[in-house]
Amino acid sequence: MAILIIGTIAGLLNQSSLNTALPNIMGEFRLSASTVQWLTTAYALVTGIVVPITAYLIQRFKRKEEAPAEVSAEGIAVK
């Protein structure tokens, strides 16, 4: 359960860091505000999907050695 909470907090922090970088992303890639809004929504959806999948995998395998790898995989998938 603690790993699920940590993963959720990490996702929220990633979302916050993305929001602060949006003006730079828009300028660098010459994107419109609506395009960036769609990208932000997709990012949030992926995070919302990956966190429960990680929780399911942790409960299914019940191996504490695999938990750090699953959280790392979530971080890679979200980025």
Please tell me the distance from the alpha carbon of residue 69 to that of residue 40, in angstroms, as a whole number: 26
**Whole-structure pTM value:** 0.56
> Using CA atoms, how far apart are residues 23 and 49, in angstroms rounded to an integer?
26
Instruction: Give strand ranges (E) for 1-79.
Output: none
The residues, any chain, with a CB within 8 Å of residue 66's CB and separated by 6 or more, are 57, 58
pLDDT of the chain, 79 residues: tens digit per residue: 777 788 778 777 877 887 888 899 899 999 999 998 898 888 888 878 887 887 787 788 766 666 677 677 767 766 6
